[in-house]
Chains A and B, each alone.
Chain A
Amino acid sequence: MIELFTSPLILGLVLLGTTLGIIVGAIPGMTGTMLIALTLPMTFSMEPVPALVLLVAMYVGAVSGGLISATLLRMPGTPAAVMTTLDGYPMARAGQPGRALGLGIGASLFGGVISWFALWQLAEPMADWSTKLGPFDIFSLVVLALALLAGVGESTRARGLLAGGLGVLVAMPGMHPATGELRWTLGITSMNEGFRLIPVLIGMFAIGKILDDLTSDEGKMETASGDDSPFIPLSTWRHQIGNLLRSSGIGTLIGVLPGVGANIGSLAAYATAKRASNQPEKFGKGSEQGIVASESANNATVGGALIPLIALGVPGSVIGAVLLGALIVHGLQPGPLLFRQNPQAVHAIIGTVLVANVVMFALMLGGARWIARLPSVPKKILVPIVTGCCIWGAYALNGLWFDVGVMLFFGVVGWRMEKVKLPLAAFVIGFILAPVAEENLCAGLMASGGNYLPLVTKPISLGLLLVATMLLLRKKNVSTKTA
């Protein structure tokens, strides 16, 4: 494994992949999935190992790059960076963009390394564990995630619930996630899939923000800029070590679960960090702990999502699915035999996760001062570029103008929601979690013949539901005490 990364070609590919990944991750509207799908045909003429190295490096870069725009512009470049907007942007606006970036970058490295270790040493037992979770268990896990998230954001509980509920509602049209029947599509074929995540996300955050800026009185793009140092002293990290370990652990564990993975990892870690924190009131206002939790967890999901891919041939994320296709096109047979038949390919994937994380850290930290000036680019240049990227990104996703329309529509929705103080993050979380919850609940019910009892007779599901109930009740006590 070590010999591989002494080759200048391989190192060059890691550098190229990570750089491109960071750029694409940072641009709202462009995603890592897109980059990897576009690059795949270009790797046809390459040997399998360099091709995999390039693609995995892009994956690591793309998940990390999202923190830049999330922190500086409050536009998550990737879905995984939604939680980073909550604290990264307030901290940056308070004049410390360098520090916010530095925290995010360092935490990303830490999360990446922890998940790399799990991928390297624990892949088989963790993949085995992931198959033990049935549909009811996953449903209960999502309920727990929702319970954790009930306290995120600074708005009142009713507003949080309304925003989350609206997000769930918007996830309803389209194909029923379990039975495949159509509902609320108004007879439009493009609606069969419902509203897709990327157009909704970039619409709500990026287009909504642009509309807000354009219509606000000052006519100035509200962004953060500053010149502080992105280098975080070691003592700060020592303070955060518990948070780092916990969030990376949560990110890795949730990343392993196919279809649940990347987006929920950072949400769950963030909410847990808030629960565990001695300063929960700072969350949402520029908390160090919030940035660290979100960013260490989302990078940890990368290694996590690769675990079932390598051990079982089951992709843990959308990008994982593209990598799976890459393996086959290059003549490698993914699945449990991969380790035995092509150990060098597996070692290349695992090694790249580590090396790309280190490269990402060096590149982003080195460039942080320069990156932090991004928002000082004049509005009349920044706005058209960002809007153009968003429109192109929404269109390129599937080549459908419908998706561009969806994005613009949700831009207006996001802008109006902010005006009436409904939290956007809660909306997006509801939107992401709803299909996962519904699919698993219905799949469980179909398997049990309509019986709800396994929800409380399966030990894992029962445990998760009990923790969720406890959290909800405790939250009530706290709020009555403070009130």
Chain B
Amino acid sequence: MPIIQKLVRCIGAGISLCLPFMVTAADFPVKPITVIVPFAAGGGSDTFVRIFQKAIREHNLSPQPIVIKNIAGAGGTIGSRAAHDAKPDGYTILFLHDGIYTAQHYGNANWGPADFEPIAATGRNGVVIAVAENSPFQSLSELMTEAKQRPYQLVFGTNLGAPNHYSAMFLQKGKAGAKFRFTQTGGGAKRLAQLKGGHVDLTGFSVAEYEQFKVLDLRALAVLSEQRESAFPDLPTAKEQDVDAVHGLMQFWWAPKGTPPDRIAYFEDLFRRTMETKTVRERLRQLHIAPEFHTGKTLKETIKQRSANLEGITIEKPPPLPPVHWMVLGLVAICGVMVWREDRVKSK
């Protein structure tokens, strides 16, 4: 009897131990899954997730819909903070590219990739360095030689603190002594306007952006990938031009720290199947995003390497800018006094 009792108890314990896993595996997800996109609707990241959302729905890949929550602002840090603080139950995940590294490195966030569970990387977007058609530079090596001989003269239009800024800093690092003068131009298409109007000397575009803009009198000098991009087989890499710089934008999915591994596995599988759909493959081809897909070990290595690359990058301060906020405070104080005197005169 005792043996049987023990056996029953053991089996019972075994079942009750396995039960939670079995239940979650079968029962996840039972409600819609929220994907936090830390940028405004309509931007590159938002569009990317919407393409996934569309593919998942069209191919019935998930029993529950994907809901996009745009928490925009401050270079993605507000949205990534919200995801960081979300309940780690798999119902809230984050979609954020290399901005998760750069925000931490730039000092605008005290959390980074190590504070999340990585789920997958879906797609890589190369970076193209471009100048205006009437620029004197015909190749990247010419331009970098100039940047070395006359440091801080060539104006690089970028979005300070964002991955695009880091592309330029990798470029500087790739040719010792070369320095650019950075200016704020904002995201993707705004850089095009500034380059075209002659307000900046050079800038970086994603391969996708360059593909759309190239008809508008631009000249690409190099692509910052390991190998030439299939979209532009004639465009040499930076490495071919003696500039040791490699950079590109990876699209990552993250879950809050502590999300159960079986739920991470659910998303790995979901995104793998989504990447294989015709919808996603065609859209990515149109957007010139390389359909790379990493999970598990290769993903961890990619993440480690990207963090390591940032070491040795130092941020240089821009030229002294007017302390607008203190000036405004002063102005308000003066106006306040004027109004107070006005009132006193009136009341007399």
Contact = CB atoms under 8 A, between A and B. Distances in A.
Contacts of B312: none
A329 B77 CA distance: 25
Interface stretch (B7-15, B66-74, B247-255): B66-74
A313 B73 CA distance: 22
The CB with the most chain B CB atoms within 10 A, among A165, A184, A439, is that of A165
Interface stretch (A211-219, A274-282, A332-340): A332-340
Secondary structure class of chain A's binding surface, majority of residues: helix
Nearest to B335: A162
A40 interface: yes
Interface string B155-179: 1010111100000000000000000
Interface residues of B, number: 75
Contacts of A233: none
Interface in A308-328: 308, 312-315, 318, 320-326, 328
The CB with the most chain B CB atoms within 10 A, among A41, A172, A441, is that of A41
Nearest to B287: A328
Contacts of A130: 193
A35 B331 CA distance: 39
A183 B325 contact: yes
A313 B283 contact: no
B81 A189 contact: yes
B319 A156 contact: no
A158 B342 contact: yes
Interface string A113-152: 0000000000000000011111100000000000000000
Contact of A192 (B43, B78, B192, B196): B78
Interface string B290-323: 0000000000000000000000000000111110
Contact of A193 (B74, B193, B318): B74
A446 B183 contact: yes
Contact of A312 (B58, B192, B336): B192
A178 interface: yes
B155 to A, nearest CB: 5
B78 A190 contact: yes
A171 to B, nearest CB: 9
B51 A329 contact: yes
A314 B193 contact: yes
Contacts of A331: 282-283, 286
A137 B306 CA distance: 39
A400 B72 CA distance: 11
B95 to A, nearest CB: 14
B332 interface: yes
Interface stretch (B19-27, B211-219, B263-271): B211-219
B328 interface: yes
B193 A174 contact: no
B74 A179 contact: no
A467 interface: no
B105 to A, nearest CB: 12
B200 A315 contact: no
Contacts of A178: 160, 184, 318, 321
A315 B73 contact: no
A288 interface: no
B190 interface: yes
Contacts of A174: 74
B79 to A, nearest CB: 8
A166 B332 contact: yes
A322 B42 CA distance: 4
Interface in A217-257: none
Contacts of B181: 446-447, 449
Interface of B: 40-43, 46-47, 50-51, 53-54, 57-58, 68-75, 77-78, 81-82, 106-108, 152, 155, 157, 159-162, 181-186, 189-190, 192-194, 196-200, 211-213, 215-216, 282-283, 286-287, 318-322, 324-325, 328-329, 331-332, 335-336, 338-339, 342
B335 A161 contact: yes
A444 B321 CA distance: 10
A329 B212 contact: no
A315 B54 contact: no
Contacts of B194: 131, 134
A113 to B, nearest CB: 26
Contacts of B40: 318, 321-322
B212 A162 contact: no
Interface string A426-439: 00000000100011
A241 to B, nearest CB: 34
A311 B71 CA distance: 29
Contacts of B283: 328, 331
6 contacts: A131-B196, A165-B331, A315-B189, A337-B215, A446-B319, A447-B183
Interface string A184-210: 100001101100100000000000000
Contacts of A258: 189-190, 193
Contact of B182 (A322, A400, A446, A450): A446
Contact of B43 (A180, A325, A442, A446): A325
B39 to A, nearest CB: 10
B41 A159 contact: no
A175 interface: yes
Contacts of B328: 165, 168-169, 172, 434
Contact of A134 (B53, B74, B199): B199
B161 A180 contact: yes
A334 B189 CA distance: 11
A413 interface: no
